[in-house]
Amino acid sequence: MQSNTAALFNSGPAMRLLEIALRAQDPSGGVTLDDELRRYVRVIRSVRTAEWNCSAYTAAGLLDLIAELLSSPSPEPLSKDFLERLDRAAEGIAPAEYLRTLAGVVRLVDREPTAGYREVPMGGWEADLAFPMLGGFTMVLDESMGPTAESAASYAGGEHPYCREFLASLAAEAHRALVLFPDAAALRANLWPAIPWISADLLRELLRAVDDHLLREHTGDQ
């Protein structure tokens, strides 16, 4: 039976780092481990709650802890899924040694300044995490309507009347995308193909749709 403490490794930062390592090893992905870890550190640093909950430095410490558990005379039972991914990522290296090496690389990257988006453009997984509401618009687009002002208005009003948190997040993401990526080339380099409709014009349509909805449906709300 798997212990409760072993559940820590099933979906937390240790598993995320293994997934990053495996993605970098995939020759079809066209990414390097260094760039993927720089994206990981950037994601953690961009959200204060993520940094507060588990910094990259702490995640590296967790990898070291797992290595110690694996090296102990009576190793803590870890999930089968985690161990399978660890064996794939280690590629013949002793699992504990591999985890210590990966932890060291994470710490090295964490000592560097946050990577800029021109230097290391967003990966698809990073865009999914950073812009979930914009990604949600992708999911609900009607092929017959396409990404238009009408579809933007429909999306903005879709959560009414329980829409305040949704609209706040949607407006924040649209503004953030426009500020971080102020021209078409930057938008495409960082947010396509994760958000295939991405354009400054449609981001502004989403912002107008949020404002229009608030004025029409929520003026006078307490």
Task: Place 142 in a pLDDT band, splitting at 50, 70 and 90.
Answer: low
- Pairwise CA distance, residues 5 & 65, whole Å: 12
129 pLDDT tier (thresholds 50, 70, 90):
very high
| Distance separating alpha carbons of residues 11 and 7, to the nearest angstrom | 8
Q: What is the pLDDT of residue 147?
A: 80
Reported confidence tier of residue 218, pLDDT bands at 50, 70, 90: confident
Closest by CA to 37, choosing from 128, 118, 107, 142, is 107
| Among candidate residues 197, 164, 198, 165, the one with its CA nearest the CA of residue 180 | 198
Burial of 1 (0-12, 13-18, 19+ CB in 10 A): exposed
pLDDT beyond 70 at 143: no
What pLDDT was estimated at residue 144? 54
Question: Model's pTM, two decimal places?
Answer: 0.90
Average pLDDT in the chain: 91
Which tokens hold the place of 119? Answer: 């230097």
Alpha-carbon span 87 to 46, nearest angstrom: 31
Report whether 156 contacts 171 (CB < 8 A): no
Instruction: State pLDDT tens for residues 1-46.
Output: 556 666 677 788 999 999 999 999 999 989 999 999 999 999 999 9
Residue pLDDT, tens place only, 78-95: 888 899 999 999 999 999
Nearest partner of 122 among 9, 61, 31, 13, judged by Cα: 31
pLDDT for 172-206, tens place per residue? Answer: 999 999 999 999 999 999 999 899 999 999 999 99
Looking at residue 199, its pLDDT comes to: 95
